[in-house]
A and B are shown apart, each in its own frame.
Chain A
Amino acid sequence: MPIQCSSCAKNRAVLRRPKTGHSLCKHCFFWAFEEEIHQTIVSARLFNRGETVGIGASGGKDSTVLAYVLKVLNERYDYGLKLLLLSVDEGITGYRNDSLETVRRNQQQYDLPLTIVSYEELYGWTMDAIVKQVGLRNNCTFCGVFRRQALDRGAMMLNVDKICTGHNADDVAETVIMNVLRGDIARLHRCTVISTASDGEGAIPRCKPLKYAYEKEIVLYAYFKKLDYFSTECVYSPNAYRGHARTFIKDLEAVRPSAIMDIIHSGENLSVKEGVKMPVQGTCSRCGYISSQSLCKSCVLLEGLNRGLPKLGIGKHHRLHDKILAQQALTEKEQNKLKAIEF
C-alpha cells in the first residue's frame, strides 16, 4: 500500500524526512527543504541586496547543494545577490583533482563563476608535500588552518562581501560535542553562531545557511535532484577523536532524530560564567590576519614547515613566537623538541 504525502495529501510519498519523520512526495520535500533554508537566511539576516557572496565549494555534497539552493532562492525570492564559487586546491593528488573536476562541472551547470586558489601559490606548499614532512598525525591541523585563510584570501581578491560555507546541522552539533569534550569554552561559545561579523580587517564575514539542514536530508535532496557531487573522504583521513564524536552524533540521531537540533539548541543557550578568560582577538603582526596571538596560526605553521620544525604550530609554543618574529635562531634544545614527530 503506497503512503500518501503528508503535506499535499495528493501525491505518493517517496521518502521519510530524517528530521521530522513525515512522509513526503518529492516536490513537497524539495519545497520544505528550500523553504527552510530561505527562512534561515531571512530570519538570521544573512545577506543584503547587492552583495557579492562567495560560496566555499569543495565539490562535496554540502557545498554542491548549498550552491544549487542559493541559486534557486536568489532567483525565487530576488535576493539580488551576486553569487560566485570559490574553491581551494590543497594539492592532494587524486583526491583534489577529482573534486575540483566536480566543482568545474558545477560551474557550468549552475552558470556561476569559479575561482580556485591553491595552497601552492599561497604558501609555497602542497598538502602532499606537507604530509611528507609532518606525517599523518597532525596533517589535518595544517589543512584546516590553511584552508580557512585561503578562502579569505581568495575572497579578498574577488572583492567578496560574504563567504558562505556548507556546514550543516550535523557539523554544528558535532562541533558542540567536540568543544565540550576538549573543554574549549571560547569555541563552545562561538560555534553555534550562524554568522561571524567581520571584525575590522583580515577576515571576511562568514555564514552557514545550512546550519539547520540535516546531513541526511542534504544527501536526499542531492539524490532526488540528481546533483553531481564528489563523495570520497579526504585521503589523509581526519583524526580519531573527531571520528568518535561523529559516530556519537550518528548514534544519537538513530535513538532520537531530533537530537541534532537538540544539541544545537543546547549550544545556542549556553552561557559562559563571568570571569572565565576568553581570548582577545587581534591581528597577526606578519600577515594581518585575525589572531589572538602575535602570530596567526597559519604563519606559525608555515614558519615551522619552512624551518623544518613542523611541531612549531602544534601544541603550545607561544613563547617561541617572539623569537620567530624577530628572526632569531632557536636553541638546539628548542629545535629538537620541535623536530620529533611520532608516526
Chain B
Amino acid sequence: MCQVDEEYASSLEQKSLPAVSKKCMKCKEGTAVLIIRVGDAFCRGCFKEYFIHKFRAMLGKNRVIFPGEKVLLAVSGGLTSSCMLAQVQEGLSRDAPKKLRFMPGIIYIDEGGVCGQNAEKREKAVAQLECIFKKTGFPYHIVPLEQVFTLPESVLEPVGRREQPSSSASYKAAVDQHIRSEVTRGQGEPAVEESQDALGRLHLQASAYKPEHKLALEELFSSLKTLTAKQDMLHTLRQHLILHTARINGYSKVMTGDSCTRLAIKLLTNVSLGRGAALAADTAFSDSRYGDVVMVRPMRDYSSKEIGFYNRLFEVQSVFIPGLDTKTADKASIQRLTESFVVKLQADFPSTVSTVYRTGEKLNTACPPQSSRTEAAAKCLLCLCALDTRAEDATAFNATLMSEQLSRCTLEEKGQSDAGCCRGQNQACGDDGCCSTSRVPVAPDLKSLLCYSCRLTVKDMTALDSLPPYITSEAEKRQRRAAMKTEIGEFLLEDEGADEE
C-alpha cells in the first residue's frame, strides 16, 4: 500500500551543485581550496583553524576530560583515528589558553589474526604504526587480538562509576588547580616528559602472542557462521581488550575515532542488529557503561569527507590495514549492507548522515543508567549494556520466541528431544534448514545472560566452547550466583541484592 509521507518530501534536500566561489568565505582573502558543504568554501589556513577549533570545542562543550587525566587513544591506523591522534598532538603543542591538558597514550589492537593476514604482514603493519606512534612521544600499547585468551574474568564485572566532580564550577576549579601545579613545576611539558619515561617500559609488553592463542582465535572465528556475527564479536572482543589495557595502566578515559559518518552508519546498523536499547550508549559523545573507564568520541562532529581533506592537506599519516569486511560484497553482512546503503543514500541526499546522526542525539537509553549497585546479572555478559530481554506481553522478543516454539517439533516438547525432526534422514538436514535451530547447541543458560542483540551473535555460533575462558568462566560464575539466589530467595529481604559489593 502507498504510505503516508507527510511533510517530508521537501525536507529531504536533493543534491544540488555547490555554487563555486573562488574566495574563502571566512577571511574573504585566501583562495578557497575546498568546499565542505554547499556555500562553505575555505582557504587552507581557515580550514585548519576551523578543524582544530572543532576538536577543542567538542571537548570543551562536554567537559568530561579532566586536566592531568590519563586518556587512551584507540588508533586503528584508519583515517579518522589517525586524524584524532594528530588533533591531540596539535592540542598539546599549543600555548597556554588553548592547550589540551590531559596525558595521552595510544592503543592499537592488532586484528590481523582474524582478518586473514599472515605474521609477516602483521609485523609490517605494526612497524608502520610504531613509526607514527614513536614520533608523537606518547606511550603506546600494541595489543594483538589473541590476548583475549589471557584476559581475566574481572573485565566483565561491573565496576562502580568513578567519583568525579561533575558541575561546571568544579570542572573549572580542577582546571585552575592543574594550571597552578604546572606553574609550580616550572613550565615544563609534563605530559610529554612522563610519556617518554614510560616509553621504554611500555613497548616491551607489546605484540607477543602465543601460537596456541592464535589457533584458539581462529577456531573461535570459524565457529561464527556469519560475517555479521564475526564483525560483532570482533567489536566486542576489541572493546574488552581496550578496557582491560586502560584499567591496568590507569587510563580513565578512552578516545575512539568515530566520525559523524561512521556514527550514522553505526546507529542504523545497530537498529538493524536489534540494539535499539543501547543505541544512545553506542553512539553518544561519552559512554559510561564500563563504570570506571569512560569511552569518548571526540571526532563525532566531523564528516569522513572533512577528515579526508584534512589528512591530505596536512599530511596526516595513516596506515591501511585490511579488516574483516575488506573486499567483501555489499550484502556480505548487516554491517556492510548498512554502510553501503548509507553511503549511497548520502550521495543522492546529502543531508542523510547529519539527519541520522541528529536522530541519535535525541535518544536515551531505555533503561536508566545502571548505578554501581545494580547487580551484575542485569547487564549483558558481552556488551555490558542493560539487558533488554524481559519477557513482556506483545513484544517482538516474545513474538519471536512464540514463532520458534510453534514451528518446532511437538515431539521435543513431549520430552523426546533426541528424536529430532530429521531422525534417520541426516542427508536431508543440510542447508535446507529443517534442523536449522537444533543444529546450534546454544546453552540456554548462556543466552539468559545476554542482551537481545548479543543473543543473535551467539546464535550464529556453532561451538560455544571456543569462546575465550574469561567469558565462559564469568558466565559460570553468574549462573552460580543466580542459582544461589534462588536457593536462598525466601530469606532475602531486599529484592534486587542491593547490598552487593
Contact = CB atoms under 8 A, between A and B. Distances in A.
Chains A and B are bound partners: yes
A36 B403 contact: yes
Given A44-B394, A148-B4, A255-B228, A141 B9 contact: yes
A62 B5 contact: no
Interface stretch (B49-57, B207-215, B404-412): B404-412
A143 B272 contact: no
Interface stretch (B40-48, B83-91, B294-302, B424-432): B424-432
Listed residue (A7, A28, A272) with the most chain B CB atoms within 10 angstroms of its CB: A7
A266 B273 CA distance: 8
Contacts of A270: 276-277, 279, 363, 366
Contact of A314 (B2, B7, B437): B7
B393 A44 contact: yes
A264 B396 contact: yes
Contacts of B395: 265, 268
A21 B437 contact: yes
Contact of B433 (A22, A147, A148, A176): A22
Contacts of B273: 262, 266
B276 A137 contact: no
B364 interface: yes
B160 to A, nearest CB: 24
B407 A17 contact: yes
Classify chain B's interface size.
35 or more
23 contacts: A4-B421, A7-B406, A17-B407, A20-B436, A44-B393, A144-B2, A145-B4, A181-B268, A181-B352, A182-B11, A183-B359, A185-B362, A212-B403, A238-B5, A258-B400, A261-B396, A262-B396, A262-B452, A264-B396, A271-B364, A272-B363, A315-B7, A315-B10
B434 A13 contact: yes
Contacts of A216: none
Interface string A104-126: 00000000000000000000000
A259 interface: yes
Interface of B: 1-12, 226, 228, 267-268, 270-277, 279-280, 331-334, 337-338, 341, 345, 349, 352, 355-356, 358-359, 361-366, 388, 393-400, 402-404, 406-411, 421-422, 425, 427-428, 432-437, 452-453, 456
Contact of A194 (B9, B361, B394, B452): B394
Given A262-B456, A314-B10, A22 B363 contact: no
Contacts of B9: 137-138, 141, 239, 314-315
A188 interface: yes
A254 B101 CA distance: 49
Nearest to A249: B272
A248 interface: yes
A40 B394 contact: yes
Nearest to A4: B421
Contacts of B352: 181
Interface of A: 1-9, 13, 16-17, 19-24, 28, 31-32, 35-36, 39-40, 43-44, 58, 60, 62, 137-138, 140-141, 143-145, 147-148, 166, 171, 175-177, 179-185, 188, 194, 212, 234, 236, 238-239, 241-242, 244, 248, 251-252, 254-256, 258-259, 261-274, 276, 297, 314-316
A244 B345 CA distance: 8
Given A238-B5, A270-B277, A315-B9, 8 more contacts: A22-B408, A31-B406, A181-B352, A234-B1, A255-B332, A265-B388, A265-B452, A269-B277
Given A19-B403, A22-B437, A270-B363, A263 B271 contact: yes
List of 3 A-B pairs having minimum Cβ-Cβ separation, nearest first: A266-B276, A144-B4, A262-B274
B331 A254 contact: yes
Listed residue (A236, A252, A269) with the most chain B CB atoms within 10 angstroms of its CB: A269
A140 B331 contact: no
Contacts of B359: 179-180, 183, 185, 188
Nearest to A41: B394
Nearest to A176: B271
A140 B276 contact: no
A256 B411 contact: no
A141 B5 contact: yes
A261 B397 CA distance: 8
B243 to A, nearest CB: 24
Given A22-B433, A144-B2, A181-B356, A7 B396 contact: no
A2 B332 CA distance: 30
A183 B356 contact: yes
Listed residue (B277, B365, B396, B437) with the most chain A CB atoms within 10 angstroms of its CB: B396
Contacts of B274: 258, 261-263, 265-266
Given A265-B274, A266-B276, A252 B337 contact: yes
A207 to B, nearest CB: 11
Given A255-B333, A263-B271, A43 B393 contact: yes
Nearest to B405: A32
Nearest to B341: A248
A39 B400 CA distance: 11
A239 B345 contact: no
B425 A23 contact: no
A148 B3 CA distance: 10
B226 A256 contact: yes
Nearest to A46: B394
A263 B456 CA distance: 13
A136 to B, nearest CB: 11
Given A39-B402, A176-B271, A254-B331, A7 B410 contact: yes
A20 B4 contact: no
Given A251-B331, A252-B334, A314-B9, A58 B403 contact: no
Contacts of B425: 1, 4
A6 B410 CA distance: 8
A284 to B, nearest CB: 14
A3 to B, nearest CB: 5
Contacts of B11: 182, 315-316
A9 B421 contact: yes
Listed residue (A62, A251, A262, A270) with the most chain B CB atoms within 10 angstroms of its CB: A262
A188 B364 CA distance: 13
A272 B409 CA distance: 41
B389 to A, nearest CB: 9
B349 A241 contact: yes
